[in-house]
Structure 1
Amino acid sequence: MRETQSRQVVIAGAGVAGLTAALAFAERGYSVKLFEQAQHLEAVGAGIQLSPNATRILRQLGVLDRLMPNAVRPEAVVLKDAATLRELARVPLGHAAETRWGAPYLVAHRADLQAALMQRAAERPEIELVTGARVGSAATGPHGITATIESAGTTVETAAFLLIGADGVWSSVREKLARKEADFVRSRFSGELAWRATVGAGSPAGQAFAAVGAPYCVTAFLHPGFHMVAYPVRRGTAFNLAAFTKGERIAEGWSGHANPASFACAMRGTAPALVRLAGEAAPWTAWPIHTVEQRRWTTREGIALIGDAAHAMTPFAAQGAAMAIEDAATLAGFVAASPADLEGALAAWEQARRPRVAQVARRGAINRLAWHAAGPVAMARNLFLAMRSSEKLTADLDWLYGWRMPDGGAR
């Protein structure tokens, strides 16, 4: 394999996963070509929570300082009963989180995170970003990978030793692998819809949230039919609202259309002030929550899937972005640590990541059950939370937020 090709990485997708991977490989001296099929990068999903396991990596990559001016460091995660608005539990964040876990817990607008990643990527001469281009196919051989790039009606080929599919839950890279190998699977609709809205802090909706929530916290309202998470973004000038209900499958994408009556129905029995907030925040944008079963993420020939392309999960642990960031950084670390054995490096990376991602997915499933509990189960949940101190609730998260890069994935 030619030396230039042996140091060339091709990445499909310029979202959080792809940009983080580009930076992580560039930090280790690799040349990166990053292809994004959209003509203009658009941040979807509105708000995003970044726990210390993610911000620690962003700091190492030189991204955190660019994000901080537009992010918010919430004081706590607060759980409230949606029917009574009674506080059920509080997990301190803010300075306490940074002291305990060595990095801040942040909430931000996804566009601000993407802008910070883009700014840092633009400073790295090793990274070439091409928009309006997609990876159409990839041929593997003894000398690496030849990726076919489709752009503006033309097709060109580019050679690399590693192709990374960072193109999200509806990954075209994974789709092509799934057509050939049973170990790669398509995404599956989870039966859940997410509803989102971003409202100005001074708007009627913002004032309605301030009356029922904790403006400088991440507030989760729990109810058998749905739950809603709200927190400040854009330096506190706006609030991100995200609600989750069961629902029928709608068109794939981040800006789908669903019957708002189903949202209103799910909110039956909630506090009038919370219903008023939902009304003031309208119109809500719905999107279907799809998941990807954890099967296989890499090939022997040099293709790797990261983030949602590999293992999209429900958002109930607020770890989707964090897992993508961890994937990207650790993949670069494992590959750089074994430059003469790409196959072994990819296998070792996947083996190391699987238990971690599975544990996070289980935490999300437990949260979903607890937050939508009803009757005696809800009573037991409330009693458990009442008896568990903030210190113990915080300690329960050490395994998640205190995670650090393994030795094999260190710089």
Structure 2
Amino acid sequence: MSETRSRQVVIAGAGIAGLTAALAFAERGHPVTVFEQARQLEAAGAGIQLSPNATRILGQLGVLERLLPHAVRPEAVVLKDAAALRELARVPLGRAAESRWGAPYLAAHRADVQAALTAQVAERPDVELVTGARVTGVATGPQDIAVTAEADGRTIEARGQLLVGADGVWSSVREKLAGKEPSFGKSRFSGELAWRATVAAESAAGEAFAAIGAADCVTTFLHPGFHLVAYPVSQGSAVNLAAFTRGERIAEGWSGHADPAILSGAMRGTAPALARLVALAGPWTAFPIHTVEQQRWTMPDGIALIGDAAHAMTPFAAQGAAMGIEDAAMLAGLIADFPADLRQGLATWEKLRRPRIEKVIRRGALNRLAWHARGPVAVARNLVLATRPADKLAADLDWLYGWEQRKAVRR
């Protein structure tokens, strides 16, 4: 096998995790082929929050400077009671975030993040992006891995030392591996629905949000039946809204039909101004939230799952994309650290990533519990938030936002 082929990396999926992986491996001298099932790269969902642990990596890969002109740097995360609209807590971001964690906290439209990554990839002659290509086969051999894909009715093949499955919660790579090795996880419906809408800042809905939220902050309204997160995107010209409720399973895909009465029913007892915002922002699109069981992520002969393909999580810590970005950068780094021992590089990566991912998942579960608290538990939550200074709330996030790959590897 030639030296070029021996370093070739094949990536399934050209979402945030997959394109980050392509750039991270290319930076370390690996030729990369990316297979993407969609014919055109389109971002699922709308808004996305990128905390400093993610933007730090995007900065290292040259993506951040492309994204910054289109993103918003929120001044704070603000928690409000959905019934009284009273502010419960404020975590400072903006310049305070950059000073504390060494990188900006951004709110952006997913399409802008995707565009920045795609533009950076396009400048790399060592990265080939093949769209409209669905992975149909994975075969491991003594010297390399063969990945076949169907594109425009023809079969194409790429060979290399490593296959990275970055193809999301319904990963075809994971499905194929699970058929051979049952220790790979499966996706499951979490019992939660995400309701999403994006409104123009100057629309009636945008003005309704401005009346109860802050145009330069991430605002989360807390209620026992649901919570709503709102923040500016697209240079502040639009507001992304995401509400979360319990719900029945709907279509196996990014979005589907769900009865709007689920959302309106969950909002009983909220402030009229918040109910007005939700009414004006419609129609809402419902997204079923699926997670992936915490099981195996790698195979020693050269396969790794990253991002949602490995460990799709609920969005209550706002870390799904960030964990995919971290996965990608750390995987490329560790494969480079063990150039003659791919098995060791993969094993070390999974060993280091697993505790981090598990801690983030626990944080998300704790957030959901706190945000949907009722009765005495809600009173206790409000008391704790009221008595905890803003700098202490920020310090609680040092482990998350202050993460750096080099420090993680040294541990």
User: What's the TM-score bracket when you normalise by the shorter of the two chains?
Assistant: over 0.9
**What is the aligned partner in structure 2 of residue 47 from structure 1?**
47
**What is the aligned partner in structure 1 of residue 20 from structure 2?**
20
Distance 2:168 2:221 in 1: 28
Secondary structure in structure 1 of the residue aligned to 2:299? coil
Distance 2:115 2:70 in 1: 10
**What is the aligned partner in structure 2 of residue 306 from structure 1?**
306
> Over residues 22-63 of structure 1, what are the superposed CA-to-partner deviations in whole Å (9 max), with x where a residue is unaligned?
000000010000010101111111000000000000000000
Are residues 9 and 409 of structure 1, via their aligned partners in 2, closer, same or farther at CA, if it must alter by over 3 Å? farther
Distance 1:157 1:130 in 2: 11
> Over residues 311-352 of structure 1, what are the superposed CA-to-partner deviations in whole Å (9 max), with x where a residue is unaligned?
000000000010000000000000011111001100000000
Secondary structure in structure 1 of the residue aligned to 2:243? strand
- Of the structure 1 ranges 133-142 and 73-82, higher mean CA displacement relative to structure 2 is found in 133-142
Residues 187 and 293, structure 1, Cα contact 8 Å, conserved in 2 = yes
Give the structure-1-normalised TM-score: 0.99
> Over residues 235-267 of structure 1, what are the superposed CA-to-partner deviations in whole Å (9 max), with x where a residue is unaligned?
000000000000000002222111101110001
Residue type matched to 1:302 in 2? Answer: G
1:2 Cα offset (Å): 2.5
Secondary structure in structure 2 of the residue aligned to 1:346? helix
**What is the aligned partner in structure 2 of residue 368 from structure 1?**
368
Residue type matched to 2:30 in 1? Answer: Y
Q: How many residue pairs get matched?
A: 410
1:178 Cα offset (Å): 1.1
Task: Give 1:157-176 correspondences, 5 Å limit.
Answer: 157-176=157-176
Q: Does 1:74 pair with 2:74?
A: yes
Task: Give 1:9-408 correspondences, 5 Å limit.
Answer: 9-406=9-406
Residues 218 and 231, structure 2, Cα contact 8 Å, conserved in 1 = yes
Distance 1:33 1:180 in 2: 24
Distance 1:37 1:364 in 2: 30
Secondary structure in structure 2 of the residue aligned to 1:380? helix
Residues 135 and 149, structure 1, Cα contact 8 Å, conserved in 2 = yes
1:393 Cα offset (Å): 0.4
1:3 Cα offset (Å): 1.2
> Over residues 120-159 of structure 1, what are the superposed CA-to-partner deviations in whole Å (9 max), with x where a residue is unaligned?
0011111000100021111001011011111111112221
Distance 2:54 2:145 in 1: 30
Secondary structure in structure 2 of the residue aligned to 1:406? helix
1:409 Cα offset (Å): 5.9
Distance 1:185 1:329 in 2: 22
> Over residues 63-114 of structure 1, what are the superposed CA-to-partner deviations in whole Å (9 max), with x where a residue is unaligned?
0000000000000000000000000000000000000000000000000000
Residues 77 and 93, structure 2, Cα contact 8 Å, conserved in 1 = yes
Residue type matched to 2:268 in 1? Answer: R
Distance 2:408 2:140 in 1: 26
Distance 2:139 2:44 in 1: 31
Secondary structure in structure 2 of the residue aligned to 1:73? coil
Residues 33 and 158, structure 2, Cα contact 8 Å, conserved in 1 = no
Residue type matched to 1:97 in 2? Answer: A
Distance 1:280 1:304 in 2: 44
Residue type matched to 2:193 in 1? Answer: L
Residues 225 and 245, structure 1, Cα contact 8 Å, conserved in 2 = yes
Write out the 4+ residue segments of structure 1 that deviate beyond 6 Å after TM superposition: none
- Of the structure 1 ranges 280-289 and 252-261, higher mean CA displacement relative to structure 2 is found in 252-261
Distance 2:156 2:117 in 1: 27
Distance 2:227 2:77 in 1: 14
Secondary structure in structure 2 of the residue aligned to 1:138? strand
Residues 352 and 409, structure 2, Cα contact 8 Å, conserved in 1 = no
1:408 Cα offset (Å): 7.8
Residue type matched to 2:37 in 1? Answer: Q
Distance 1:221 1:291 in 2: 24
Secondary structure in structure 2 of the residue aligned to 1:336? helix
Secondary structure in structure 1 of the residue aligned to 2:240? strand
1:205 Cα offset (Å): 0.4
Residue type matched to 2:329 in 1? Answer: A
Residue type matched to 1:173 in 2? Answer: V
Alignment RMSD (CA, Å)? 1.0
Distance 2:101 2:274 in 1: 33
Residues 230 and 242, structure 2, Cα contact 8 Å, conserved in 1 = yes
Name the % identity: 74
Are residues 407 and 219 of structure 1, via their aligned partners in 2, closer, same or farther at CA, if it must alter by over 3 Å? closer
- Of the structure 1 ranges 175-184 and 360-369, higher mean CA displacement relative to structure 2 is found in 175-184
Secondary structure in structure 2 of the residue aligned to 1:164? strand
Distance 2:382 2:109 in 1: 31
